Structure 1
């Protein structure tokens, strides 16, 4: 099902993976190696997957590695030269290949435990983050701090080797405040922070936005300390807020079922979440996606029905807002918020590793 706000010329993929470099871009073979480099992280967590019998876990991991590398080798042979490639390769195809290989090897949700633990750790930190925001009396200052929090939280991504290494060293919740303080100096690679703050603050007085839909990304500090406090600010501005999360597991992205439990716990900790949930102003829906990227033409009936009266769409995370949908204008105003966690993405954007994207796109019919 299509998001009602997408236009006829919608194309989800930001980067076309071609055999030869163009305009300082990254080649198809280099992109394939980015995915190959993720194998050790996936193997590490697959070995900890308690839903697979311990006696067969190692064999299943070996089968995943074999099948995934074989699939990547086949894609490399097909897309490594202009003579052999038929259709452009893209991140959606590569993400789907990895998920298919995991499932065929017997794995369902290899990051379940780490998501659960990081959600718990982040929820323990959440009251302090909310108190920090409430200490800002100025709406614009509070919105900027909340948006910086979204970017800081988004570093928790076990699909990217750079952020996976940071997670192994510090954990996500523990490093949140430090990361928020130490974001790369502005201007960022795409920096509409001032415009975004101004438009949101103005909407708080004019009532321009009635309902926002937020497509969220990772579990832990990303959604709990980044997106939930930002959603709370939108509620404060008078909007209804819908949080759209994955139907099924992929990497450490939070699922709708997991997010529902997190929101219930947040409501126990904070009156604003509790009241909004009780009044139907804050809701969680399943996007229908099982990937870390998203095609807004392939959504669940639930999210499409809920989006009919949405007038602000926000996509968050490197997969959903940078590698896909970065340049896809919608019929309503929209934002893209995410951190650049692959050197190859930084190269394509002509930015820096761990650079920030905060993009505001006015709606157009």
Structure 2
């Protein structure tokens, strides 16, 4: 490439950073800034905020034709933003920050920048002069640890290991209350090994002079590679067995007495030794060996050396979790592969070799936290905003088409904690890992692609009164943004961690929110709630007139399941609704497979309910309208007839499809109290009916992240039965969840592909559920009652 081409390329690159808001989201509201400047990459972390629209529900006047009003309000959401780019563009990036950063005159704004990394001294004057702020340097190791602790606590799907054969990522759940102790092995030019026992108790316990610079140096001497990344590219293509001496090269096979396999490396570069009888020049001798093989041998040697030293330190300090970080492993699976193999070998499979999805940001996050310590981020919970996060990291290659990498965390409205009755040690929320199941991944990505126009139209419909060009453009932009993300996930399914149906649903909600579309089914939910309340009295009378208790409970659960048919996220429901097949609740009752009462443990559940053996039942409800009012409420009212039993109804904190929100639930319950004395007394007098928001904004449910107030209520009221309702909460997530109490998972399976795949995915017995989709026009159901045995 000529010098002119390089200048043109660099100009194009810097302009892409300078001119796009995609890189520096919400920069105009940025306050505290932390920066980590390395030799290759610069990372910036800052806090900010943005306004978003949401719905406010309130009671209407008695003479109103509507059961409640829905108004639009604006709320401010705090964010943490992170961006990473090549250090050579730090000058233009700082210029961009200077131009776009609002005045720092407000008293709550930071008056300084915290900087760490090897370049913090070199670029200190540039940062100070251009931003007119004091630059304070922070210790690199303490920043790394603070950043690591933050990611482990606040970012789900952050931790992964790698499969040795396929090089695919395998994400590991992290018990956020039990992240210590661990070793952090930071591989830069050399290696530093840090033992971390708590937020404040950590120390460097060792290291090695053999690190990234060693690979770079030896690679430069042995190959024609001009930089670190070219050495890695060579190593990826090489075969070290051509230059390494193996056990079989010495002993003719395995050395069984010592337990040494024949293909074990006995001596790195052992086959390249030169005899004194060789008269050729060094250059000529080197030509006998492929540069790719030499590079791979050196890489393996260094990875195995580091992994052995790390294992020995872990054994000394009785630690079984080892995290690796540093540019040495950045976006480089082959390096991770050999580190993983080394740890597994030296520890005999007893220690975990772990990596972090955002390991490149550790220093910047730590520097940011240094300037934000008074905010105490442990008081808050955060979620990753997929719409504002990159799906691909910066490539190590020169012709990189991805000029920056960024991700964003948004603050939750509540502190989120693990459900206290969850068996959290074995808990993985999602039924299907789409990163592993290629068939399922292809199906669900295509499914979400096919239905995107439905949501585009619904976004426009929800703004019917101001259906102008701006609304049409926003809806089109939402569709484009979501489809772009789906296409990127086809190429990089690991981008947001474990790819699941839940993450795809959440991504769609995030993309809608990005273009200011919120609760787009609020009007439909309100209409269906009104219709449901009009029918509730008749439904209650019908159930009350059933004299046989067993038949009454059967009808209650039949209605509980039938209500779950009304799911706007299910295409089969939408199609039936368009044909007028579900206008009446009786049609829904007749549309489900009613053999649920023959399933395992059904009789045990009914006996416990009939004889009032539960103190408190916690129900995670699903949809608004018929589902809640005609399905769930009759069941709730029957339970509340026994004044010794309490019920907690948990609803979403924020809207997702037609799922009922806490605000809607409260208003609907107040209206329903006018139709049922039992409900009225339980809600207003005895407080046996408790309504709590669950902390979720998703059609699915991660029980390791629920509203802390709900967790406290579960403990306080001694919940002994948990009911999960709907496909999102009981099938896509939590199907395999185990509890320290009885549990019921109930759902109507409205997706044909899932119904056919379900048995294979779950290894269910035939008497636990039915799988023939729409047999005799019937939806299959899940009705899974599990008893807890202390």
Look up the SS of the partner of 1:209 in the other structure.
coil
Which residue among 398, 422, 428 is the counterpart of 1:11? Answer: 428
Give the aligned partner of residue 30 of structure 1.
Answer: 443
Q: Is the 8 A contact 2:600 2:785 kept in 1?
A: no
Q: After TM superposition, give the deviation of residue 117 of structure 1 in Å.
A: 0.4
Work out whether 1:236 is the aligned partner of 2:641.
yes
Higher helix share: 1
Give the aligned partner of residue 562 of structure 2.
Answer: 152
Greater length-normalized contact order (CA 8 Å, ≥ 6 residues apart): 1
Work out whether 1:93 is the aligned partner of 2:510.
no
Larger Cα-atom Rg: 2
Change (3 A) 1:147 1:361: same
Q: After TM superposition, give the deviation of residue 314 of structure 1 in Å.
A: 0.1
Q: CA RMSD in A?
A: 2.1
Q: Distance in 1 between matches of 2:477 and 2:581?
A: 29
Work out whether 1:65 is the aligned partner of 2:475.
no
Q: After TM superposition, give the deviation of residue 197 of structure 1 in Å.
A: 4.8
- TM-score, length-normalised on structure 1? 0.91
Q: Distance in 1 between matches of 2:600 and 2:535?
A: 27
TM alignment of 1:1-365, pairs within 5 A: 1-7=417-423, 8-18=425-435, 20=437, 26-50=439-463, 53-55=466-468, 56-79=470-493, 88-170=498-580, 174-184=583-593, 186=595, 193=599, 195-205=601-611, 207-237=612-642, 238-278=644-684, 279-308=686-715, 309-350=718-759, 351-353=771-773, 354-365=779-790
Q: Is the 8 A contact 1:146 1:229 kept in 2?
A: yes
For structure 2, the residue ranges without an aligned partner over 5 or more in a row are 1-416, 760-770, 774-778
Q: After TM superposition, give the deviation of residue 166 of structure 1 in Å.
A: 2.1
Q: Distance in 2 between matches of 1:192 and 1:314?
A: 19
Q: After TM superposition, give the deviation of residue 27 of structure 1 in Å.
A: 2.3
Q: Is the 8 A contact 1:192 1:360 kept in 2?
A: no
Change (3 A) 1:239 1:194: farther
Q: Which moved more, 1:323-332 or 1:343-352?
A: 343-352
Q: After TM superposition, give the deviation of residue 41 of structure 1 in Å.
A: 2.2
Q: Distance in 2 between matches of 1:86 and 1:272?
A: 46
Change (3 A) 1:274 1:86: closer
Q: Which moved more, 1:280-289 or 1:10-19?
A: 10-19
Q: Distance in 2 between matches of 1:213 and 1:19?
A: 33
Q: Distance in 2 between matches of 1:247 and 1:129?
A: 28
Higher strand share: 2
Instruction: State how many pairs are aligned.
Output: 352
- TM-score, length-normalised on structure 2? 0.43
Deviations along 1:304-348, one digit per CA (max 9) or x if unpaired, are 111111110000001001111112110000000101011222122
For structure 1, the residue ranges without an aligned partner over 5 or more in a row are none
Look up the SS of the partner of 2:601 in the other structure.
helix
Q: Distance in 1 between matches of 2:657 and 2:503?
A: 15
Q: After TM superposition, give the deviation of residue 199 of structure 1 in Å.
A: 2.1
Deviations along 1:14-66, one digit per CA (max 9) or x if unpaired, are 12224556xxxx42111111222221221221111238842221111101110
Change (3 A) 1:155 1:328: same
Q: Is the 8 A contact 1:143 1:197 kept in 2?
A: no
Q: Is the 8 A contact 1:19 1:29 kept in 2?
A: no
Look up the SS of the partner of 1:170 in the other structure.
coil
Look up the SS of the partner of 2:506 in the other structure.
helix
Q: After TM superposition, give the deviation of residue 171 of structure 1 in Å.
A: 7.9
Change (3 A) 1:177 1:97: same
Look up the SS of the partner of 2:647 in the other structure.
strand
Q: Distance in 2 between matches of 1:328 and 1:19?
A: 20
Change (3 A) 1:85 1:98: closer
Q: Is the 8 A contact 1:151 1:339 kept in 2?
A: yes
Q: Which moved more, 1:135-144 or 1:295-304?
A: 135-144
Deviations along 1:69-111, one digit per CA (max 9) or x if unpaired, are 11111111123xxxx8895421221111111100001101100
Look up the SS of the partner of 1:336 in the other structure.
strand
Q: Distance in 2 between matches of 1:40 and 1:160?
A: 14
